[in-house]
Amino acid sequence: MDNRDIISKFEQRKDNMLNILHAVQNNNPNNYLTTEDLKLVAEYLNTTYSSVYGVVKYYSMFSLKPRGKYVIRVCKSPLCHMMDGDNLMQEIKDIIGIGLGETTDDLMFSIESSECLGHCAHAPVMMINEKVYKNLDSFKIKNVFQSIKLNEQK
């Protein structure tokens, strides 16, 4: 879908900026926002490019460079950290074969860390795109990536 069509579904209010940016980023198969996207949002909301750029730079869920089809965000906040989050992060890196902040050459996966994802009672937690995975352990992590691989082979 064209980004202009996506943006036009939102009311022209500045408090819609985050939702608009999310929708536009989600429309990009490589999960990022281009300079043209930011200009389009600024124009639609009748604001400056730099104010949109500032918002994008502030929030870690937005990216200005291409990322994988699957963006893995691992919570690094204290509770998840205490519940073995570091080891789980290492397992994910080993499975995918890249480090934190990196993207696979085939643009399938990116690994990022995140502040609290809001599901502390189920630590440790990660998100892959919009889906939350709770109470993680080695077994669950292996299953998650196994099912992604199977889905990709269909």
Q: Which residues bind ligand FES (CB under 6 A)?
A: 75, 77, 79-80, 116-120, 123, 125
Backbone angles phi, psi at 60, to 5 degrees: -70, -15
Q: How far is the CB of 92 from ligand FES (least distance, A)?
A: 15
Give the Cα separation of 153 and 147 in Å (integer): 10
Handedness of CA 9, 11, 12, 16 (dihedral sign): negative
- Shortest separation between residue 73's beta carbon and ligand FES, angstroms: 10
CB of 96 to ligand FES, least distance (A): 20
Min CB(130)–ligand FES separation in Å: 15
> Is 75 or 128 the residue whose CB approaches ligand FES more closely?
75
Cβ closer to ligand FES: 71 or 123? 123
Q: Of the candidates 139, 31, 120, which has an alpha carbon nearest to the alpha carbon of residue 75? A: 120
Residues 6+ apart with CB under 8 A from 142: 95
Q: How far apart are CA 9 and CA 31, in angstroms?
A: 20
Nearer to ligand FES, 89 or 117 (CB): 117
Q: Which is nearer to ligand FES, 1 or 121 (CB)?
A: 121
